[in-house]
Structure 1
Amino acid sequence: MDNLDKMDIFLEKYKFPKTQSGIIKNLYIPITNEEIDAVIKNIPANKSPGPDGFTGEFYQAFKGKLKAVLLRLFKKIQEESTLPSSFYEANITLIPKADKYTTKKENYRPISLMNIDAKILSKILANRIQHYIRKIMHHD
């Protein structure tokens, strides 16, 4: 943190692309039922649940009732500019690599299991950004 002034001077040398205000406004529009519906439809049903214990299959089965709850949740998140603490939780588990000895730690890979609500919000935001990413970033 001692070098922040030097970093600012370094970064000022370069002209980074800036987003247009219209693009930024489009990213902040309220989340719609259609966006939630599209993401829930594509959630893999056979994945392990996160800390809340709910699976993608559960969300798909009760999509009609859950959309209204999620819509209210996402509206509150946008109004308060704060994520619920459950969005910061994850279960981290180790999966053994195929055909490796399970007695060595390097033969495991970690995965983190998040709550589906957090995944849905992340996917909606990623979908929105995807429309504008080519305008913001160079293809390389």
Structure 2
Amino acid sequence: MVKRNATRNSILAITKADGSIITSVPDIAQEFVDFYTSLLGIEDQTRPVDDEVFHWGPSLTSELASNLYRAVTPAEVKTVVFQISDNKAPDPDGYTSCFFKKTWNIVGDLICRAVMDFFRSGRMLRQLNHTIIALVPKSEHSLSVANYRPIRVAM
């Protein structure tokens, strides 16, 4: 059953724009990269912010603004972790939020330190910042890259 699902969930071949068929995993992966690079480009698409926008509408009070700069507390980190639904999708390591809740007395201090360090330094542990792109076929027999829909799953 597991082997059948793995085969069903694999992309075994892709037909390129020139009609040739590729079957090697690295070539298939590169075909997807090339397709989306040509579709989306590689340059940053950000535009400068017009400073006038800061004068539109209400602004934060000094009290609320200072609240944005204060340190995050371990109690706040724990509250947020415990508000996450137990049924959320697992991280790439396979652990769900339920695992972290049940083992909080063991892992809570490490989680709090990692989160507080992120807010202090602006740097996140690489292990915590993952995005998985799942390629979902648009039809049962998707043969070209354009017939797959990329779905982003942030971890």
The TM-score, its normalising length taken from structure 2, stands at 0.51
Q: What's the offset of the Cα at 1:75?
A: 2.4
Match status 1:84 vs 2:125: yes
**Counterpart secondary structure, 1:91:** strand
Aligned CA-pair RMSD = 3.2
Q: 1:25 aligns with which of 66, 69, 73?
A: 66
- Equivalent residue, structure 2, for 1:54: 95
- Give the letter for the 2:55 counterpart: K
Separation in 1 of the partners of 2:77 and 2:53? Answer: 41
Which residues of structure 1 form unaligned runs of 5+?
A: 115-140
**Larger relative contact order (Cα-Cα within 8 Å, sequence gap ≥ 6):** 1
Separation in 2 of the partners of 1:14 and 1:22? Answer: 18
How many matched pairs? 106
4+ residue runs of structure 1 moved beyond 3 angstroms? Answer: 100-109
Higher gyration radius (CA): 2
- Give the letter for the 1:12 counterpart: E
- Equivalent residue, structure 2, for 1:133: none
> C-alpha deviations, 1:63-94, integer Å up to 9, x for none?
22222112211222233222222343222224
- Equivalent residue, structure 2, for 1:122: none
Change (3 A) 1:19 1:87: farther
Mapped contact 1:51–1:113 kept (Cα < 8 A): no
